[in-house]
Amino acid sequence: MSKPFYQCQRCANCCKWPGEVVVTEEEVVSIASNLGLPVIEFTALYTKVRANRQGLTLVEKANHECVFLEGTDCTINTVKPAQCRGFPNTWNFPGWRQVCEAIPIEPDAAPHA
């Protein structure tokens, strides 16, 4: 039996829990361009070094929401990092079903990336 595709229900829970949102160098360039900011300014305002010192993560608000979350909308949706696009299909963690409202659909009905 093939693995189901989990279709996001846009609950935004994954944008609210504490944890790193990793951004690659290419994603930094892409998001900065989308926001109309120089890379150096975007990096200073919206990113910090990851806890393991291996690259950058987006900063969070005081309540741990992602800095780019407004209500339940991602304000950089068209250029959001691969980590955001992939969850929960390309990666997830034990217990993710308790916090994510995505529903399983037949892989044939899944949108193509």
Binding site for ligand SF4 (CB under 6 A): 8-15, 21, 66, 68-69, 74, 76, 80, 84, 87-88, 100-102
Closer residue to ligand SF4 (CB): 41 or 64: 64
Strands ordered across the beta sheet of 47-49: 22-23, 56-58, 47-49
Supply the minimum distance, in Å, between the C-beta of residue 27 and ligand SF4.
Answer: 10
Q: Which is nearer to ligand SF4, 37 or 101 (CB)?
A: 101
Residue 7 CB-density burial (10 A; 0-12 exposed, 13-18 middle, 19+ buried): middle
Alpha-carbon span 83 to 75, nearest angstrom? 16
**Residues facing 47 on adjacent strands:** 58
Of 9 and 90, which has the nearer Cβ to ligand SF4? 9
- Write down the least CB distance from residue 67 to ligand SF4, Å: 7
CB of 103 to ligand SF4, least distance (A): 8
Which of 105, 87, 104 is CA-nearest to residue 96?
A: 87
Residue 52 CB, nearest approach to ligand SF4 (Å):
19
